[in-house]
Structure 1
Amino acid sequence: MSYGSLPDVMNTAANSLETMFLIQRARNNVKGWYFYSFSSEPFTVSAVATYIPLLLEQFARINGVSVDDHSVKCSTSHDKCVLGLFNNSVYIDTSSFALYTFSLSVLFQTLLVITVSGLVDVWKTVRFKRKILLFFGFIGSLSLVLLSQLRVDQYYLLPILCVVANSSYGVVNVVGNSLLPVFVSDLIKIDPVETATDPDALTSALSGCGASIGYCSALLVQIISVLLVRKSESHDNVQWAVLFVGLWWVTWQSPMAWLLQDVDPILADETLNHERDANSGFRWHYMKYGWSSLFKALKHASLLRDVVIFLISWFIISDSVTTINSTAILFSKTELKMSTLSLIVISILTMLNAIVGAYLIPRHVSSKFNWSAQSTLKYIICWASVIPLYGMLGFIFNNIGLKHPFEMYIMAVWYGISLGGLSAVSRSVFSLIIPKGNESTFFSLFSITDKGSSIVGPVLVGFLTDRTHNIRYSFYLLFALLMFSLPIINMLDVARGKHEAEELSRIERLIEDDSNDIS
């Protein structure tokens, strides 16, 4: 029996060790990506959805005055209070203080995400993206820690820290999501176990696993937060919960520092050259790339009628559904006098039912009734519109229409199902009408539309609350917006959209082939 020469054996062993190293690196990258989801998801589920709106309203109320007599300090005996800003030249409702802050934070988040995405698109390596994740994760968590230490008279600093934290999370979310296709491609190329796996199936599996890990992390943080705020309802207890979310974020993102590694040596060398260029003064040139990519995406989208129709409708739908959450939290606190502990339970119910809705509606409900993706989206909008419609009944009836705290628990289940269903089905519809090969460009536009829409709704609700000092009137606005989106969605023709997308892809390929022939 021949065992081959010694050099051949050594080469085989070396190749085997290198393969094992590459497989381990690919798997570590996936683990690191899971830590991104595990560390940051509690911020949006716990801090943004519950604690920050409550803190903003509480700080505003503590420093506020009676809406009827500005010389009387706001107290528990005054249901309607306003906060004086800019040396009392402007008075806003205490609920509006939270809503305006949220809109401002989304505005800055959108601008920052577009700008930073240019750097990420130019410097494509995992090493650079890891630095971005860790840096903005640290800034976001530090903002929460500082926020938790504020005194009640520092209400001007509170919205600033909220804006910084939410903007930082936006960058972390976009950069973290951009790593998934890179890791999927590397895993399939390196790991023999995954070689025969369909890339789309593996992407869906890893994405679903990461989402589940993030939801489990958020659920765990919410349960622990119950223990932190259960002793009393003072703002100090809510600040303890915010502190915990900040420490959770910075602690659990740490493993990414050694788990996330580069997958392409050539790209690593290019990034090193880019970094040298940036140190020579070209950094701003690269930051413009994100805006040029956005304009390119808008140019592509304008050529596709149904993409434009969908994005307009999605802007309205996303804005309405997101605003329902912040409005419901403030309504429960100010009108129904619900405790912070109760609102945390409502948040947990919403999250659990969002998971149920995201799984059941596209996989079982729509298939059982033979609904198209477009029809399913319309039915979910009708389902979600029941929430503001039910709140409007409170103007007519004394005992129903969100008059009692227990009704909010029912609405939390209802809202969670619609939220999960919308998230799953909207992406499915959009994916059907965009050109193949341009998914990243169009989904970046989808993401900006999704997040950017949240600027408008809270401002409108805040303006309405300032004029009426009754946040219940916002249900009229939210119901009208959801109803307005239905005829726009009805204008959508998925079959036509698919055909237009295929035609655009064909034309771009012909132009590219002609350019190659000329060169």
Structure 2
Amino acid sequence: MAETNFEVELDDEPSIPTGDQLDIQEPILSKNELYAWYLYAFACEVYAVVSLTSFIPLILEQFSFEKGVLNTDHTIPCNNSTAFSISEEVRCVVNVFGIWVDTASYSLYTYAFSVVLQAITAISIGATADHGAMRKTLLLSFAFAGSVSAMLFLFVTPSLFLLAGVFTIVGNVCFGASFVCFNGFLPVLVRNHQDVRKISSQIRSYIAKKNYTPSDEGNHNLEEDHNNFEEASLLATHNQQSLDPELSKLSEDLEKEKDRISTHISTRGFASGYFGGIILLIVCLIISFLLNSTVFSLQIGVFLSGAWWFLFSLLVIKWLRPRPGPPLYLDNGRKVGWFDYIIFAWTRLWRTVRHAKKLEMSFRFLVAWFFISDGYTTITSVALLFAKTTLHVPDTGLIIIALIVPVVGLIGAILFPKIQKQFDLTTKQTIILLNIMLLCIPIYGCLGFVLPVGGLRSAHELYFLAAWFGFAIGAIQSYCRTLFGELVPRGRETEFFALYAVTDKGSSWLGPTMVAIITDTTHEIRYGFAILLILLLLPIPILLSVDVIKGKADAAKSSENED
């Protein structure tokens, strides 16, 4: 792969070639638009880094603890300081709608329920966001709703621990839905980058000059249809490469340039998000010291993350172009309403799944992503709860651990493209390497069952594992998004990134739920590392079976044959 550490030269208002040079249907990417995309990552990722993965699980556990009772006697309050001297096996449970739940499991169940709703929401908006200006409209609508739910955390008390769970669910659903739309912009921005458009224009001219058709089924006029010439070049190369090495070389240059720019933009997006999270975590650490590490200091952190998300999203309104798709009409020609959009999205999903064989590599990657995302999400949940309930790490120490992850994650996101280039790794090979790095964490946790020392028996080990986890997590998220963006049919970006979100957050109920059940049954959260070990082993053989070149060609053909 070409060097990814480069400065993208974009004009604030780039000049648009005209006439025979380009037949433009979409504006070229400008600096302001690219910075607006980065800015939204800077806005919303703070909520994920500070609240969803760090503070909210601890708040939910503490609130439920203060309302909980001992599992051995459902009348003794957990906040009785002498209660836990009875036995090391004594655990705290809380009544949730008539069911006794371990307080360490309450946040896991809440998160699991929220991601199920998040999956339903993502599907309901996925295909519709590719029509009209819905992608930007939905992104901002969910951003403002989610940020307000985060700010309301400041006013919740332990007696309202169930309301805290509701705010968690609303915030997570809105964050995930807005991120679907955010990711849907990535392939659009990449293909409209001026360096990509320059090579694409050369390919279009060459194909038109040679009078190649993009496929047997297609009948596009390449001089008039700018939106399809990249796909045409890939398919024409597939059909003509043995006869026309020059066309093959041009198409290979285009794919390398798209991969280079996509990796660069995606990595910068995650880096900007982590940078925002680091800033706010430092502020929260100071607040925690000033307030003696009370749970209220964590509530202030969640409030600040919501305010941050809200305020910086306001700036996105002006600079991020809507990049509208075609308007959506029903068969009778009338425009559709909101309910029609939802029905259309689910119908489109069913049709896509029925024809999954035509995009086999895209769906194989989604299966692998299912396990990768569930694995690293569960690591985050299990590690913090394990630190609090088993190793008894104070809240200040937990904030430091939460701070280590994005700091090292930022470093990993920046350095891994250099590591990839140094060892000449493909994007797929890099993802496999990162997954193996994540796999080391549950292996180490499981060693605690057999080794007298080590194996996560002391708090200081967590600091090292947090750095290890952070170095891998920032990079693997970026590379997975980059690779999937290359396997997405044009014009259906948000629809497919909705599937990506379903297999990401939507799949994340599996790990937390299994760990919660094991914890409720055994009252030992360490068994959760065995679940993590399985989750992170499964994607490796699946990734090895993904043929990226075939996946790109299938996506191109799917775009061209879309009716």
TM-score, with normalisation over the residues of structure 1?
0.80
Shift of 1:259: 3.4
- Partner-residue secondary structure (3-state), 1:91: strand
Higher relative contact order (CA 8 A, sep 6+): 2
| 1:95 is aligned to 2:104 | yes
Shift of 1:377: 3.8
Counterpart CA distance in 1 for 2:550 and 2:265 is 30
Counterpart CA distance in 2 for 1:428 and 1:300 is 23
Aligned to 1:382: 436
- Partner-residue secondary structure (3-state), 1:70: strand
The 5-angstrom pairing of residues 8-19 of structure 1 reads none
Change in 2 beyond 3 A, CA 1:186/1:375: closer
Aligned to 2:91: 80
| 1:323 is aligned to 2:327 | no
Counterpart CA distance in 1 for 2:258 and 2:361 is 27
- Partner-residue secondary structure (3-state), 1:92: strand
Aligned to 2:549: 498
Change in 2 beyond 3 A, CA 1:287/1:300: same
Selected match of 2:297 from 227, 237, 262: 237
Equivalent residue letter for 1:38: F
Counterpart CA distance in 2 for 1:160 and 1:232 is 27
The 5-angstrom pairing of residues 23-422 of structure 1 reads 26-75=30-79, 76-77=81-82, 78=84, 80-86=91-97, 89-123=98-132, 125=133, 128-182=134-188, 188=194, 202-230=261-289, 231-260=291-320, 282-364=337-419, 367-368=422-423, 373-422=427-476
TM-score, with normalisation over the residues of structure 2?
0.74
Over the aligned positions, Cα root-mean-square deviation in angstroms equals: 3.8
Q: Does the Cα contact within 8 Å between 2:51 and 2:305 map onto a contact in 1?
A: yes
Change in 2 beyond 3 A, CA 1:399/1:507: closer
Equivalent residue letter for 1:122: H
Change in 2 beyond 3 A, CA 1:40/1:315: same
| 1:452 is aligned to 2:515 | no
Shift of 1:43: 0.5
Q: Deviations over 1:288-307 (max 9, x none)?
A: 22223322332343345544
Change in 2 beyond 3 A, CA 1:508/1:414: closer
Counterpart CA distance in 2 for 1:353 and 1:464 is 31
Change in 2 beyond 3 A, CA 1:366/1:466: farther
Shift of 1:459: 0.6
Shift of 1:243: 1.2
Shift of 1:223: 0.8
Q: Does the Cα contact within 8 Å between 2:362 and 2:488 map onto a contact in 1?
A: no
Equivalent residue letter for 2:278: L
Q: Deviations over 1:138-190 (max 9, x none)?
A: 2111111222211110011111110001111112212223334555666749x
Counterpart CA distance in 2 for 1:507 and 1:391 is 44
Report the count of equivalent residues: 477
Shift of 1:82: 0.8
Counterpart CA distance in 2 for 1:109 and 1:306 is 25
Please, which runs of 5 or more residues in structure 1 have no aligned partner?
Answer: 1-15
Q: Does the Cα contact within 8 Å between 1:120 and 1:129 map onto a contact in 2?
A: yes
Counterpart CA distance in 2 for 1:98 and 1:507 is 41
Aligned to 1:11: none
Shift of 1:467: 0.4
Equivalent residue letter for 2:404: L
Shift of 1:132: 2.6
Counterpart CA distance in 2 for 1:157 and 1:272 is 40
Counterpart CA distance in 1 for 2:440 and 2:429 is 17
Q: Does the Cα contact within 8 Å between 2:267 and 2:478 map onto a contact in 1?
A: no
Q: Does the Cα contact within 8 Å between 1:354 and 1:417 map onto a contact in 2?
A: yes
Shift of 1:342: 1.5
Equivalent residue letter for 1:459: T
Change in 2 beyond 3 A, CA 1:379/1:206: closer
Please, which runs of 5 or more residues in structure 2 have no aligned partner?
Answer: 1-14, 19-25, 85-89, 203-253
Q: Does the Cα contact within 8 Å between 1:188 and 1:199 map onto a contact in 2?
A: no
Shift of 1:414: 1.3
Equivalent residue letter for 1:419: I
Work out the percentage of aligned pairs sharing the same amino acid.
Answer: 30
Q: Does the Cα contact within 8 Å between 2:50 and 2:281 map onto a contact in 1?
A: yes
Counterpart CA distance in 2 for 1:133 and 1:430 is 20
Counterpart CA distance in 2 for 1:257 and 1:457 is 36
Counterpart CA distance in 1 for 2:378 and 2:339 is 35
Change in 2 beyond 3 A, CA 1:40/1:505: closer
Q: Deviations over 1:247-279 (max 9, x none)?
A: 112122222333345567xx79x5999xx977x
Q: Deviations over 1:318-342 (max 9, x none)?
A: 2112101111011111111112222
Counterpart CA distance in 2 for 1:359 and 1:25 is 23
Q: Deviations over 1:24-55 (max 9, x none)?
A: 99544344333322221100111001011001
Change in 2 beyond 3 A, CA 1:494/1:391: closer
Counterpart CA distance in 2 for 1:381 and 1:98 is 26
- Partner-residue secondary structure (3-state), 2:72: coil
Counterpart CA distance in 1 for 2:354 and 2:304 is 44
Q: Deviations over 1:366-399 (max 9, x none)?
A: 742x555555444433322221122222223343
Shift of 1:442: 4.7
Of 75-84 and 457-466, the range deviating more from structure 2:
75-84
Greater helix fraction, Structure 1 or Structure 2: 1
Counterpart CA distance in 2 for 1:379 and 1:23 is 37
Change in 2 beyond 3 A, CA 1:63/1:484: same
Aligned to 2:532: 478
Q: Deviations over 1:46-71 (max 9, x none)?
A: 10010110011001100001122211
Counterpart CA distance in 2 for 1:451 and 1:74 is 32
Equivalent residue letter for 2:398: L
- Partner-residue secondary structure (3-state), 1:453: coil
Equivalent residue letter for 1:255: L
- Partner-residue secondary structure (3-state), 2:158: coil
Counterpart CA distance in 2 for 1:188 and 1:485 is 35
